[in-house]
Structure 1
Amino acid sequence: MNASISKPVPETASWLRAYDVFNGDADGICALHQLRLVHPREATLVTGVKRDIDLLKRIPPGEKADVTVLDISLVVNAPTLLRILHDGGQVAYFDHHSGVGPFPHAGLTLHWDDSPDVCTSILVDRHLGGVCRKWAVVAAFGDNLDGPAQALAASIGVDRRRLQELEELGRLINYNAYGERVEDLHVAPDILYLGLRAYTDPFDFIHGSDHFRLLSEGYRDDAARMRSLSPASETEGGAIYLLPDAPWARRISGTFANKLASEGTPRSYAVLTERSDGGYVVSVRSGQPELRSANRLCDWFPTGGGRKAAAGINCLAADDLENFARAFHEYFAPNYANGVPARVHVE
């Protein structure tokens, strides 16, 4: 299912406190950056690591707030969204994650599309008429949407060399978002956004920012470890990788999953990174998202969700590891019958 409801982003009323709430990955950061380049405002920033998506809870109850939300799940945040609206707030919501359709409310402006070739920054790009499109290209590459990124870049005449620079930037910003806590990251997402805010053009950021150099050097060191990883289990339909409880592994997990998915085969992949509490953070990439969506598999497990091509589980219990592995290999098997695998314990 997909939908898009678009109205102008309303101006902040003088009696409302402004909040910008965004995912700490490339898509969330670049979506906000595009929007504020065109519609600047001072607002309280609310963000976190990529898996920290229940962000609307940080807005105090009873406060009339003007909230812009970018790239966090409507399913997870729906109860708090309704609370903010009932408190008299107004919300502009941009998102591409699967699982819920739009609902009407006088205080809500919703831009939502869960098509597998769309990310939140592409929704913002549409809303703004493409005036900051280079940043949408950066975000699409970061979200592993290479085809849409290349198409957007071609529409504004980006040459091959510069396209590679935008791709690298997107992947670096996205790589920086992965961690169990902000301390795992090279740069906190709100600090990285504030660093970007001074740059209208991403090429100026690439060639002039200390943050870019820090991310580039950090990625080089972590990627060296990534090259030695091998599957913990593997079938015709896909492979599962297990990464240790270490900051480098948490940082590289999403990039590694995207790299596996970019091989262009119908195989699917799961990258499980051990948490400090003994559980696992799970990243799933579907090789055939329209036939077997990643989010459908992850939705069977507590704290799971995402979109068709890429989804995850925020905390898979250690004693559910074998159950997940069986479900993964059955679900992505070529002869899968499209039901719920019998060995999945659906809560």
Structure 2
Amino acid sequence: MTQYFDVFNGDADGICALHQLRLAQPLDATLISGVKRDIGLLAQVHAAAGDEITVLDIVMSKNHAALVTLLEAGAHVRYFDHHIPGDIPQHPHLDAYIDTDANVCTSLLVNRYLSGSQLIWAVVAAFGDNMADAARTAASPLDLNAAQLDELRSLGECINYNGYGDTLADLFFAPIDLYRVVHAYADPFEFIRADPAYQILRDGYAEDLVQAQAVPPIQVRSSGAVYLLPDATWSRRVSGVFGNRLATDHPERAHAVLTHKPGGGYVVSVRAPQTTKAGADVLCSSFATGGGRRGAAGINHLPEVELEEFVNCFYKIFEKN
């Protein structure tokens, strides 16, 4: 008997990508997700020959070994992602839909795959992934007014905000639970109006952002600014969306937001200047647990002794771009 698995990132892009697919192609599958930075998710899949796995917004390079194992076991894998993939296995059981363009997110790839049948949720995801221009461009066929686009932007940001945290305990909703709540709504405006989850996320996002905006940068230059947030649940939740807000407010600058980890070291979120959308992946990939895409990337664990090195590398890269 064929088993089905849906493996997805716990942020807005992963949740909305799966939501689109399952609105268009309903299927009862085992769901696997986690906090946004929990990207080694394919290792949790135990599949056999003939099983079907759909992967959404999970960087392939960090899952390469598990992917090869699953393919060699005879499983079929459909893989959608917009991060730098590394070596893509050449295998008849792998269908890879990869596009690393800085203005493409995974949900826009799924929208392309579905020929636009669930476009509005791809717009939500693009807003959540801090791709406002791409979101508005994609939304053009929907003929939405400015107020409606602003509602979709808020929804995308709130879903994305929920994905950040050191553990699931930091989040308002486990990503699998939030996906199930969202998936009850084909219309995002109905979700906004009717479901209490949206109000919970919107209020939490607003409160956490106020606290983050009260923290001054530890260093700021014309090319970029570096922020260090305290060891607190709110700071772990808001780190990524705070970086997005800084990038939107100062599009000519790069930004790094570091958050103390409970066990020591830092989690790092980096946003390249909106004017170039380049360099974030190069910076973060130069550190052991780093990776991402050109416009936005991160480091899962930066030891405290490497903070000075990180700041020096940050300015070396972005003062060139």
Q: What is the alpha-carbon distance in structure 2 between the residues aligned to residue 283 and residue 234 of structure 1?
A: 16
Taking a change above 3 Å as real, the CA distance of residues 151 and 228 of structure 1, as seen in their structure-2 partners, is same
Residues 78-106 of structure 1: CA deviation (Å, up to 9, x unaligned): 11001000001000000000142544211
1:155 correspondence with 2:126: no
* Contact 1:49/1:177 (8 A) holds in 2: yes
Which of 13, 25, 38 lines up with 2:11 in the alignment? 25
* Contact 1:294/1:311 (8 A) holds in 2: yes
Report 1:24-63 matches (<5 A).
Answer: 24-60=10-46
* Contact 1:238/1:267 (8 A) holds in 2: yes
Per the alignment, in what secondary structure is the counterpart of residue 104 of structure 2?
coil
Residues 181-224 of structure 1: CA deviation (Å, up to 9, x unaligned): 00100111000000011100100100011111111121122122
Report 1:1-347 matches (<5 A).
Answer: 15-60=1-46, 65-100=51-86, 102-287=88-273, 292-334=278-320
CA-atom RMSD in angstroms: 1.5
Q: How far 1:304 sits from its partner (Å)?
A: 0.5
Q: How far 1:282 sits from its partner (Å)?
A: 0.4
Q: How far 1:244 sits from its partner (Å)?
A: 0.9
Tell me which moved more, 199-208 or 290-299. 290-299
Tell me which moved more, 26-35 or 270-279. 270-279
What is the TM-score when the length of structure 1 is the normalising length? 0.89
Q: How far 1:71 sits from its partner (Å)?
A: 0.1
Q: How far 1:61 sits from its partner (Å)?
A: 6.4
Q: What is the alpha-carbon distance in structure 1 between the residues aligned to residue 87 and residue 139 of structure 2?
A: 30
Tell me which moved more, 284-293 or 26-35. 284-293
* Contact 1:281/1:316 (8 A) holds in 2: yes
- What letter matches 2:38 in structure 1? D
Q: What is the alpha-carbon distance in structure 2 between the residues aligned to residue 255 and residue 291 of structure 1?
A: 16
Question: Which segments of 5 or more consecutive residues in structure 2 lack a partner in the other structure?
Answer: none
Taking a change above 3 Å as real, the CA distance of residues 20 and 289 of structure 1, as seen in their structure-2 partners, is farther
Q: How far 1:291 sits from its partner (Å)?
A: 7.6
What is the TM-score when the length of structure 2 is the normalising length? 0.97
Per the alignment, in what secondary structure is the counterpart of residue 249 of structure 2?
coil
Residues 296-322 of structure 1: CA deviation (Å, up to 9, x unaligned): 111100010000100000111111111
Question: Which segments of 5 or more consecutive residues in structure 1 lack a partner in the other structure?
Answer: 1-14, 337-347
Residues 314-347 of structure 1: CA deviation (Å, up to 9, x unaligned): 111111111111111122114x7xxxxxxxxxxx
Q: How far 1:63 sits from its partner (Å)?
A: 6.7
* Contact 1:179/1:250 (8 A) holds in 2: yes
Following TM superposition, the consecutive aligned residue runs of length 4 or more in structure 1 with deviations greater than 6 angstroms are none
* Contact 1:102/1:112 (8 A) holds in 2: no
Tell me which moved more, 220-229 or 233-242. 220-229
Q: What is the alpha-carbon distance in structure 2 between the residues aligned to residue 216 and residue 265 of structure 1?
A: 24
Q: What is the alpha-carbon distance in structure 2 between the residues aligned to residue 25 and residue 239 of structure 1?
A: 24
Q: How many pairs align? A: 321
* Contact 1:244/1:273 (8 A) holds in 2: yes
Q: How far 1:153 sits from its partner (Å)?
A: 1.4
Per the alignment, in what secondary structure is the counterpart of residue 301 of structure 1?
coil
Per the alignment, in what secondary structure is the counterpart of residue 97 of structure 2?
strand
* Contact 1:49/1:180 (8 A) holds in 2: yes
- What letter matches 2:285 in structure 1? D
Taking a change above 3 Å as real, the CA distance of residues 119 and 25 of structure 1, as seen in their structure-2 partners, is same
Q: What is the alpha-carbon distance in structure 2 between the residues aligned to residue 155 and residue 87 of structure 1?
A: 42
Per the alignment, in what secondary structure is the counterpart of residue 262 of structure 1?
helix
- What letter matches 2:298 in structure 1? G
* Contact 2:251/2:275 (8 A) holds in 1: no
Q: What is the alpha-carbon distance in structure 1 between the residues aligned to residue 258 and residue 266 of structure 2?
A: 6
Per the alignment, in what secondary structure is the counterpart of residue 101 of structure 2?
coil
Q: What is the alpha-carbon distance in structure 2 between the residues aligned to residue 299 and residue 143 of structure 1?
A: 20
Taking a change above 3 Å as real, the CA distance of residues 161 and 289 of structure 1, as seen in their structure-2 partners, is closer
